Amino acid sequence: MRTRASLLTRQATALAHGQPRHHTRLYPVQQSPTQHHFSSSKKLPLSGITVVSLEQAIAAPFCTRQLADQGARVIKVERPDVGDFARNYDARVDGLSSHFLWTNRAKESLALDLKKPRDLAAVKKIIRSADVLVQNLVPGATGRMGLSYEDLRGANPRLIVCDISGYGSYGPYRDKKAYDLLIQSEAGFVSVTGGPGEPSKAGISIADIASGMYAYTNILTALIERGQTGKGKRIDISMLESMVEWMNFPLYYSINNQPLVPRTGLTHATVYPYGPFDTAGGESVMFGVQNEREWLLLCRDVLGDESIATDERFISNSLRSQNREPLRAIICEKFSVHSASEVLEKLDAAGIANAKVNDMHDVWKHPQLQARGRWAEVDTPIGTVPTLLPPGIDEPSHTRLDAVPAVGQHNDSLFAEFGIERDK
């Protein structure tokens, strides 16, 4: 078994709390003694697969980063000078964008202006020998440039083209521009998120992530299919359809014009108690009771009053959900004389599922992530920063942790490799 370093330096603690730092390694890192932040020499599942991506924002870059994690070569085509506009979403990591850093490791950056004929010809030449083309440009852009699946498959019949858009390639919303929050709204996600008084969005780009992951899994499936048929295909990923797939519970819940799923903030819409409860010292804990056996254990072993379990207001989940306020008052009163850590210990001892209410500073230092060695390192234009290993990957050598590129960093090497002549 390999050893793990599990340190959060004083500078890292300062960074987590927004204090200035020096230009040294400042982050929590879990690393192998033989692998820090270099590309794996191991043959990975997608080694030998070349992906060209006309990508921006989150959805397509998130998809292609998953492909890169599994060994694919990803050539990221972005605008000269400014690059992918996600590079400028923020500057929280010593001037780098947190969004861009997250979704763009292990890629080669090729800066081209696709409005110029010679740059468009260059990308077409590269695509002729590629396995996959991913794009999430504005609707219709690739068709106007001759980069649709129909345009490209003659020269490369094994090519898989994955188009990611807000609403898909046909239908009345085909040409409508879409961003993450707008899709959350169209898909009904915001209608079931937030508190009773006001709907809310997700705190992360959930529609982009959903569509990026469906693009990724469909590309993997298409690669398997190509191995059987020898032919590529087109994949049409809609952000709306990706999000609506995740909305099936509230859809079925409201079938035939039944009442909608209520917005209940941090509590569960239909199961109770399931959510945050106050403890001493202004802290809170999250826990959930999923069945009657757990309800009895909560009352007897955590609340210390078995009679609550047989109170007529609370003898079934439906009644507990209907009588949330009096039950919440009882629970919070019982918890008010205990710290959050004491309550969590009681919940653990009783076998009741629970969690801390963590913020991002807490997650940087999360003991489970550190114990499982989830932190590695990746190079960037401003130096080494931490990165999480992909879920399901236990060793840094089992994935690619190549650098996050600067804009156009690989132009010269790619032009030379593909025989593309450029004036110096």
User: Looking at 201-283, which runs of residues are DSSP E strands?
Assistant: 234-238, 274-278
Distance of alpha carbon 238 from alpha carbon 174, whole angstroms: 10
Whether 178 contacts 211, CB under 8 Å: no
Specify the pairing of strand 194-195 against strand 160-165: unpaired
CB-count burial class (<10 Å; 0-12, 13-18, 19+) for 160: buried
Tokens of 393: 């990957």
Whether 287 contacts 347, CB under 8 Å: yes
The answer to whether 84 is a known catalytic residue is no
Catalytic residue among 69, 131, 208, 379: 208
Residues 6 or more apart whose CB falls under 8 angstroms from that of 336 comprise: 278, 279, 280
Tokens of 226: 């190509």
Question: Helix or strand or coil: residue 308?
Answer: helix
Residues 6 or more apart whose CB falls under 8 angstroms from that of 418 comprise: 122, 125, 126, 129
Determine the straight-line distance between the first and last CA of the chain, rounded to whole angstroms. Answer: 52
Q: Which of 35, 30, 10 is nearest to 20 (CA)?
A: 10
Distance of alpha carbon 273 from alpha carbon 320, whole angstroms: 7
Specify the pairing of strand 132-135 against strand 50-54: parallel
Whether 141 contacts 214, CB under 8 Å: no
C-alpha 152: how far from chain center:
30
Q: Which of 417, 401, 295, 276 is nearest to 343 (CA)?
A: 276
Cα dist. 1→36, 144, 188, 370, 399 in Å?
A: 17, 54, 47, 16, 18
Residues annotated as catalytic (active site), given as ranges: 208
